[in-house]
Structure 1
């Protein structure tokens, strides 16, 4: 029998209050605005097909929050990314993080998305009629980044953001926009490898962004920049947040990541991405 979100089946629940986000500064868009906490308090809970879910605590019928599938790095669990996943949920994104230490196939990630679609239709579920099954993204780190690319070939997923991705998945099978994130000082998945994967993704709008001074584990402030970039990327594509799009698109002189050289050591956009305004 598949697990449902009944009290007896919940293995962990937590509530985290989030401060209101900083005021936007339209003149200088950067990831700083989106690296601040969003307006929602968040809930963390385990259930479903061996997943950990992070979501706003004010889910209500008809609100239609987007879904993000998360894949962990090799040997890691969602707890390793707890701050990031709570952060995304604070911005109105329901995160399904598979409790697997080997997420490269993308299959466990996709099972979380399918479960949430079922829960959205099930009366009595905390997610009932509160999700948008047409707005599903995927992201993950390292092996989970490879799993993100693998999951991104499924029609369920409309947008992806592989972070320092491993070799799994075929970027030419992606059918939606993709943000490839590298760390300038990453020796586990070097930036040159991430850039090569990005350059093969020429059938979709793709962006390559390298976090200045960051290693594979987001040292030297890399975690803050990762939070901001992922939040903005998915807010734009899944929630229609037009300001978030200014971080990635438009003229290079106004593109937020392109201008923020203190945080990003390299930013590239392929031909399809440069056409987005």
Structure 2
């Protein structure tokens, strides 16, 4: 997959989002019903610094962090619905204001800023950031950036969404949920996502392939990916035990959900206790 072809195709993703083309839809499922609905928090969107936009609960308590990376040529507004949704479930989302997040460096800079603000007297974030629970996720190039960022010890879990080739899955430090789209012809699951999931033998890792999903499905509000993304972060970052059964144990909800065309769990994921 040449760099020029990748840039051209992913730039098309931004154009589709801009003109309001609807991504491929998935059937309504139990996971989407429970976790795809807005959370209890009102949401505020604001600049964090000169290079990040924050989506956060309007009333700050003490919240885990999600670092976000955009696809090539995109910006946080391209994924506005998804980022607002995650903030409504109690996360402070630091979205890198860059169309090139694949190095992971830009994403990690958001963590650095929030950690500093957490201890800075007078900051609205003082004492409001759970610095021990930081996740990283992103789409396409930003998904590759999430893998790259996941090699940093501050990042405790990752969700690469239809990820680009950046980062080493073998270097991930915490549990990872690799997402593919059944009809993604840009980041083809069998060639570009499943091998990366299999390389993450050192951590609990799950591969989830959303049925009927294309490379454009995550644009906007996350489409059929939204509920599973939320549940994963609610479990690993917020300690929400309601989300455990979605991924772990013999009755794994994701494994039985008809909206997902393929679900694989590695040995370490199978060892995580169910509900």
Aligned to 1:8: none
Q: CA deviation at 1:219?
A: 7.6
Map 1:1-277 to 2 at 5 A: 30-59=31-60, 63-192=61-190, 193-218=192-217, 223-251=222-250, 254-261=251-258, 263-277=259-273
* Secondary structure of 2:229's aligned partner: helix
Q: 1:100-135, CA deviations, whole angstroms, 9 ceiling, x for partnerless residues?
A: 000000000000001000111112212111111111
**Structure 1 gap segments, 5+ residues each:** 1-27
Answer yes or no: is the 8 Å Cα contact 1:49–1:111 preserved in 2: no
What's the Cα RMSD here?
A: 1.7
Q: CA deviation at 1:137?
A: 0.5
Aligned to 1:15: none
Q: 1:235-257, CA deviations, whole angstroms, 9 ceiling, x for partnerless residues?
A: 00000001112111110xx2111
Query: 1:36, 1:92 → 2: CA distance?
Result: 13
* Secondary structure of 1:215's aligned partner: coil
Which has a greater percent of helix?
A: 2
Moved over 4 A (4+): 219-222
Answer yes or no: is the 8 Å Cα contact 1:29–1:246 preserved in 2: no
Task: Point out the more displaced range, 211-220 or 63-72.
Answer: 211-220
Query: 1:47, 1:223 → 2: CA distance?
Result: 23
**Structure 2 gap segments, 5+ residues each:** 1-28
Q: CA deviation at 1:29?
A: 5.5
Q: TM-score, normalised by structure 2?
A: 0.86
Size of the aligned set, in residue pairs, is 244
* Secondary structure of 1:139's aligned partner: strand
Q: 1:221 to 1:44 in 2, by over 3 A?
A: closer
Q: 1:125-154, CA deviations, whole angstroms, 9 ceiling, x for partnerless residues?
A: 121111111110100000000000000001
Q: TM-score, normalised by structure 1?
A: 0.85
Q: 1:215-249, CA deviations, whole angstroms, 9 ceiling, x for partnerless residues?
A: 00118999332110111001000000011121111
Query: 1:250, 1:275 → 2: CA distance?
Result: 8
Query: 2:65, 2:221 → 1: CA distance?
Result: 24
- Tell me which of the two structures has the higher relative contact order, counting C-alpha pairs closer than 8 angstroms and 6 or more residues apart: 2
Query: 2:216, 2:184 → 1: CA distance?
Result: 8
* Secondary structure of 1:239's aligned partner: coil
